[in-house]
Amino acid sequence: MHIVTGGAGFIGSNLVQALIDRGHDVVVVDDLEDGHKFVNIADFCIADYLDKDDFLKRLATDAAFADGIKAIFHEGACSATTEWDGRYMMKNNYGYSQSLLHHCLDHKTPYIYASSAAVYGSSTEFVEDPLFEGPLNVYGYSKLQFDRYVRRVAANPASQVVGLRYFNVYGPREQHKGSMASVAFHFNNQVLDDGEARLFEGTDGYGNGEQLRDFVYVDDVCNVNLWFLDNPGVSGIYNTGSGAAQSFNDVANAVIKWHDKGKIRYIPFPDHLKGAYQSYTQADLTQLRQCGCDVTFRPVEDGVPAYLDQLCGPQQH
């Protein structure tokens, strides 16, 4: 069986689907205190569901269960960049990840975990190197500190340990994320509600709506995870983005084109985001390609329509 923590979340649930489509038995681990997330896994025939705290206890006490695990995909985390309870963030994101890492090292179980491009902060170079790492929030710090821990205790692991630094992921099953959902999700809702996509005015030297992000479709992210599953001899920390920065205007225009209606309106850049906002991200894929991963990443002009086909259905198109 394969374990997916955060399996009821956005990336996790898409990964669960990808694994089931391959014929694998999947155990979903999550925290359903927010029960709205159940819809992300309601249509899956999973092998089992475990609460995230019960999962750690089961690993420690049930040898047969632990021995039956083929791989652990650790997607679970508090991903809110606006969360400033550092004690909670470090316990939930850092401490839990450590516990799973040591279990996997002890049992030689492949461990593929979610890191984040938030580790780079305001850097303009996105290379997997401490020179370019400097998070702007405690979420980014929790992810960076775990990457540092992996570098220290699992630099040459006897079994696979892979950290994937996700950039701006968008796609189906993200509706529960609220304000933290992708701009594609929000632009779609805005166009449906009042016929306009609202983008920030220019900042940091960028024109209106021209801030650049590395937007990556969730299916492509899942394909990277599956590539590492198929290549257990490869370990390390790797950027997982498209490798091509695109503007918020590009995303909004893709949404408007799909609906064949709508317009863009620019709104003032919020004061509270000044100095704490990434105006540019672009994954350097050199190390990902050097390790042999050949997954193709689609541009927003292809990814956004694929997303809206699922989100809205063909009857809306």
Determine which of 132-141, 159-168, 268-277 has the lowest per-residue pLDDT on average: 268-277
pLDDT recorded at residue 314: 66
Higher pLDDT, 314 or 53: 53
* Same-domain status, 20 and 77: yes
pLDDT recorded at residue 317: 56
- Measured at the CA of 104, the angle between CA 166 and CA 86, to 5 degrees, comes to 50
pLDDT recorded at residue 215: 98
> Amino acid identity of 227?
W
- Sign of torsion over alpha carbons 197, 200, 205, 211: negative
55-96: pLDDT as tens digits: 999 999 999 999 999 999 999 987 766 677 888 888 889 999
- CATH number at 195 reads 3.90.25.10
pLDDT recorded at residue 13: 98
Q: How far is it, in rounded angstroms, from Cα 76 to Cα 12?
A: 7
Take residue 307 and report the two structure tokens written for it. 């997303």
Output the pTM of the full model. 0.94
pLDDT recorded at residue 316: 56
- Written in H, E and C, the secondary structure of the chain is CEEEECCCCHHHHHHHHHHHHCCCCEEEEECCCCHHHHHHCCCCCCCEEEEHHHHHHHHHHCHHHHHCCCEEEECCCCCCCCCCCHHHHHHHHHHHHHHHHHHHHHHCCCEEEEEEHHHHCCCCCCCCCHHHCCCCCHHHHHHHHHHHHHHHHCCCCCCCEEEEEECEEECCCCHHHHHHCCHHHHHHHHHHHHCEEEEECCCCCCCCCCCEECEEEHHHHHHHHHHHHHCCCCCEEEEECCCCCEEHHHHHHHHHHHHCCCEEEEECCCHHHCCCCCCECCCCCHHHHHCCCCCCCCCHHHHHHHHHHHHHCHHHC
Q: What is the mean pLDDT of the chain?
A: 94
* Same-domain status, 95 and 196: no
* Same-domain status, 250 and 238: no
Which listed residue (139, 141, 217, 238) is catalytic? 139
Which listed residue (70, 177, 277, 280) is catalytic? 177
Q: How far is it, in rounded angstroms, from Cα 272 to Cα 274?
A: 6
* Same-domain status, 91 and 225: yes
* Same-domain status, 196 and 235: no
* Same-domain status, 15 and 146: yes
Q: How far is it, in rounded angstroms, from Cα 190 to Cα 313?
A: 17
Which residue bears the tokens 């000044």? 274
Query: Does 29 score more than 90 pLDDT?
Result: yes
How close are the terminal C-alpha atoms of the chain, in Å?
39
- Residue 294 backbone phi and psi in degrees, to 5: -115, 25
What is the arithmetic mean of pLDDT over 88-113?
Answer: 95
Percentage of the residues of the chain whose pLDDT score is greater than 70 = 97
Cα 58 to Cα 66, 100, 103, distances in angstroms: 8, 12, 12
* Same-domain status, 191 and 260: yes
Q: How far is it, in rounded angstroms, from Cα 29 to Cα 71?
A: 13
Reported as half-sphere exposure (CB side, CA atoms, 13 A), residue 100 has a value of 33
* Same-domain status, 228 and 273: no
pLDDT recorded at residue 315: 52
Query: Count of CB atoms within 10 A of residue 259's CB?
Result: 18
Query: Count of CB atoms within 10 A of residue 208's CB?
Result: 18
* Same-domain status, 42 and 134: yes
* Same-domain status, 125 and 269: no
* Same-domain status, 44 and 157: yes
What is the arithmetic mean of pLDDT over 277-299?
Answer: 95
177 is catalytic: yes
Whole domain around residue 175: which residue ranges?
Answer: 170-213+245-283+298-316
- CATH number at 116 reads 3.40.50.720
Contact between 21 and 88 (Cβ < 8 Å) = no
231-249: pLDDT as tens digits: 999 999 999 999 999 999 9
How many domains does the chain divide into? 2
What is the arithmetic mean of pLDDT over 149-168?
Answer: 96
pLDDT recorded at residue 36: 86
Query: Does 211 score more than 80 pLDDT?
Result: yes
* Same-domain status, 60 and 209: no
Take residue 58 and report the two structure tokens written for it. 């089961």
